[in-house]
Amino acid sequence: MSSHPPLARRLGTFDAVVIGVGSMVGAGVFAAFAPAAAAAGTWLLVGLAVAAVVAYCNATSSAQLAAQYPTSGGTYLYGRERLGAWWGFLAGWGFVVGKTASCAAMAMTFAAYAVPAAWQRPVAVAAVVGLAAVNYRGITRTAALTRVIVAVVLTALGVSVIAAWSGAEAAGGGVGAIELGSGSWYGVLQAAGLLFFAFAGYARIATLGEEVRDPARTIPRAIVVALAITVGVYVVVAVTLVGVLGAEGLASAEAPVAAAVAAGEWAWAEPVARVGASAAALGALLALLAGVGRTALAMARHGDLPRWLAGVHPRYQVPHHAEVVLAVVVSAVVLVADLRGAIGFSSFGVLLYYLVANLAAFTQEPGHRRFPRWLQVLGAIGCVVLVATLPWQSVVAGVAVFGVGVAYRLARR
């Protein structure tokens, strides 16, 4: 281990839960249900259930590992400790590269809701720079801003759900209008793959392990609580969207929550949905920048990324070199990337990351075991199955970029 100074432990359970919820209840809740409905039709809710089960299995693995290894790096560190240096590198590379693409996607999603098309890329870059500056000033500022963003998002979702059902009730609709139609298992799994990544924010809690007080107790509790809250929110939103718009209407909606609100009688509430979507994208971006920076810090400490990235600011106690480089790279991706391609590539990297987490948790000794091994087996199988549902272009791009990572590590060694 490097002699670089440790990060400061400043976060309690509440802050860790808020950061996790802010990561999960992000732009996905406003956008992911439409392509998921196109894949699964009225079996969307089954796809959501599959995604939630896989997410729970992965969350328990992350929680169990974080309790034993309460330091920055998440599955990169767990893979190194439990499976070997190469497994850790593959997990860390998948997280850093994949989530860098996710950062760009979140910034672009925020701009799409907030400003006209001509201004979207400059505004997206401004969002990246502004939130990177918040992270640079310390993790407590990140947690404080995340509290505000989560409050705005949950309030906007609450108003949107009530407004959407006001129209459905007036038209004689409601929960009773939801029926499961015909659909293929492949479509359900494809929907689960799309929806899974909306849950993936609980990993952000584990990557902040070096900055949480009493991590062996706080991190497992925060991960499970944050995931439970998010599942509840997603179920309410999914039932509302399918009940109000129907599967076909949901599949064709560019902004599903706003469309459901527009179908109701509270026309004034549609801007509320758009504000909520913008805030959600900002919240996810803020947490992503923090998590990727900490994983890059851990990889740099072990020499898997340039060691200069392991620098910790003497005053703010954050990995400031990693965060500056990350902001520059994400801004560059925003200026040139295609949003759909970024999301597909990110999916590949994150699934490999959680596959390593499940395999690492499976090897833990009884004294560190908090959950049964069959959950890790189910989680690993779920990751592999969901990878199989990704578009072939995303798989090819993912394999190519991982090949670059392997070549880089071989060259450094």
pLDDT tens per residue across all 413 residues of the chain? 445 555 556 677 787 788 778 777 776 787 778 888 888 888 899 999 999 999 889 988 988 888 788 776 678 889 999 999 999 999 988 888 888 888 888 888 888 778 877 888 999 999 998 888 877 666 556 667 777 878 888 898 999 999 988 866 544 444 444 444 445 888 888 888 878 867 776 666 766 656 677 777 777 788 888 888 989 999 999 999 988 888 888 888 877 888 888 887 887 888 888 888 888 888 778 778 877 887 788 788 878 888 777 777 666 667 777 888 888 999 998 888 776 667 778 888 888 989 999 999 999 998 888 889 999 999 999 999 988 887 778 888 889 989 998 998 898 87
* Cβ contact 317:117 at 8 Å: no
Write the single-letter amino acid at 176: G
Q: Which of 173, 128, 143 is nearest to 15 (CA)?
A: 143
Work out the mean pLDDT of the chain and round it to a whole number. 81
* Cβ contact 206:298 at 8 Å: no
Residue carrying structure tokens 């923090």: 290
The answer regarding whether domain 13-147+178-257+276-412 maps to CATH 1.20.1740.10 reads yes
- Per-residue exposure over 28-47, b if at least 16 CB sit within 10 Å of its own CB, e if not: bbbbbbbbbbbbbbbbbbbb
* Cβ contact 310:300 at 8 Å: yes
Q: Which of 343, 360, 354 is nearest to 381 (CA)?
A: 354
Residues 263 and 164: their CA atoms lie apart, in Å, by 6
Angle between the N-to-C axes of helices 215-251 and 13-24, in degrees from 0 to 180, rounded to the nearest 10: 20
Q: What radius of gyration, in Å, describes the C-alpha atoms of the chain? A: 20
Q: Domain limits of the chain?
A: 13-147+178-257+276-412
* Cβ contact 361:377 at 8 Å: no
Q: Which of 348, 329, 258 is nearest to 107 (CA)?
A: 329
Burial class (CB in 10 A: 0-12, 13-18, 19+), 366: exposed
Q: Which of 250, 247, 184, 187 is nearest to 42 (CA)?
A: 247
